[in-house]
Amino acid sequence: MMRLGRKYQHLARPPGCACCIPVPEGIAFKLEDFSRRRFLAGAGAAAIAGIIASPAGAQSAVPKTLFRQVRVFDGKADTLTAAAQVLVEGNRITVVDTTNSDPPTDASVIDCGGRVLMPGLIDAHWHAIYAAVPLNVLMSGDPGIIFATSTAEAGRTLLRGFTTVRDVGGPTFSFRQAIDIGIIEGPRIFPSGAMITTTSGHGDLRMPFEIPRDAGQLSLSERMGAAAIADSIGDLKQRVREQLAQGASQIKLVGSGGVSSPRAPLDVMTFGEADLRAAVEIASDWNTYVTVHAYTAQSVRRSIAAGVTCIEHAHLIDEETARLMAEKKVWLSTQPFLTMADTGSQTGSGAERAQQLFAGTPQLYGFVKRYGIRTAWGSDVLFSPALTDRQSLMLTHLANWYSNAEALRMATSQNAELLALSGARAPYQGKLGVVEKGALADLLVVDGNPLEDIRLLEDPGRNLAVVMKDGRISKNALRT
């Protein structure tokens, strides 16, 4: 009897997914067949079929990698350890040793020469499919160019040191599987699936000829899995369950307008409190949580009243709302937007809305520091291959309000705490964002000390010497 190797055994039932990968007759796609469930399913099936299976009972040695002569930032402390060595076996950290005892003879050794080893970075607000795809290309609906662009960007994201992202809107279910089984390079993805919104809400990207809706006919963006439009509680419940059925690790709803929304200014409210509460109840039944896109105080307070776990953005809240977030222990996932360079080439009303965010950012972080709001960091890059390179710069913007150690903790262990709220729906089992025994081996070796100069991370091509994800090295500039 033949079986899949250990790396591929999870394909029998992908983590967080209730169904097996479908095996289509071929891998050619027609636009009318393009959907969240079908993209890359054919490619995944072809890849599985091409694997040379090992005989049952065959044992292969677990690969071991030893990082020698490193100073460790463990994702939690304010300082580095003294010279240490870290052993990785398979995809786990098994030893963090400051005594530098004799290494195992069967390990591949990377001599780091006193460089800093730290956890892989986590971006808590990313759009893996849409970050690098210009909006006009996205609206064309051509899946070939969209996913080719996103595939290339996934590899670049990983090489910037971002080993995990929380995707908060987009058709990433099969894309995540393709990364996880090694078809393409990229970070771990905690997928939300389609961003759930209302007619005219942020994320309603329908073309004029698609309005009004024709007898329930889905729009192009809905068929692609970019958005799910719901205007009744019944439809909303269905849309939520559809994302969970496909493997969503958390649910993303829209509570207010947005900067780039063609139809929803920032002050607009979308779902009512009863709607939001219905989504929260379903997510709770699935042992996960709801996060809500909301900029204004009113939309944030409505979301809190409905019992949501996390708010995205919140740049326009007032002090009373900030106190309420802290009191209710609601998570904030936000971005340090400072200038137009952080949001791309917005024009007209989009540029005016962006200016409101820039004005609100310092006040928001002031509230966070004053009231101790539990906060995650994300970059929220959208629709621009030029902006994706600023992902690291968006992280270093945190130095305006935090020490370097605090900023790095937020992008590692603190963001990992937010990811852990997905519970049983998390697609990966194991600790992220830390360097400790038993944690998943997502590691960076930095040429320099980011606790002294966090701006080293702005040039990952030069300053990241090693990038490891899940125990596998994607970059090693220290090979001799």
Classify 252 as helix, strand or coil: strand
Contacts of 405 (CB under 8 A, 6+ apart): 73, 77, 78, 79, 451
Q: How many whole angstroms separate alpha carbon 373 and alpha carbon 416?
A: 16
For the record, the structure tokens of 217 come out as: 């006919």
Beta bridge partners of 121: 162
* Of residues 284 and 204, more confidently modeled: 284
pLDDT for 9:
41
Q: What is the token pair recorded at 395?
A: 């992280």
DSSP code per residue over 78-139: SS--SSEEEEEETTEEEEEESS-PPPPTTSEEEEEEEEEEEEPEEEEEE-TTTSSS-HHHHH
472-476 sheet: strands from edge to edge: 92-97, 84-89, 64-72, 108-119, 443-446, 464-469, 472-476
pTM: 0.88
125 vs 45, residue with greater confidence: 125
Q: What is the pLDDT of residues 13-47, one digit of tens each?
A: 344 443 333 333 333 333 344 444 444 444 444 44
Q: What is the pLDDT of residues 70-94, one digit of tens each?
A: 999 999 999 999 899 999 999 999 9
Q: Report the alpha-carbon distance of residue 234 to residue 227 in Å, rounded.
A: 17
Residue 243 has pLDDT above 60, yes or no: yes
Domains, the chain: 64-120+433-476 (2.30.40.10), 122-401 (3.20.20.140)
Nearest Cα to Cα of residue 123 among 420, 380, 422, 466:
380
| Virtual torsion, Cα 92, 97, 101, 107, nearest 10 deg | 20
Nearest C-alpha neighbor of 125 from the set 410, 344, 435, 404: 410
Element (H, E) at 359: helix 348-371
Closest CA to 120 of 417, 444, 459: 444
Residue 461: Cβ-neighbour burial (10 angstroms; 0-12, 13-18, 19+) = exposed
Name the residue among 348, 298, 347 with its Cα closest to residue 324: 298
Q: Report helix, strand or coil for 23.
A: coil
Residue 109, phi then psi, degrees to nearest 5:
-105, 130
pLDDT in tens, 227-236: 999 999 999 9
pLDDT band at 350 (very low <50, low <70, confident <90, very high): confident
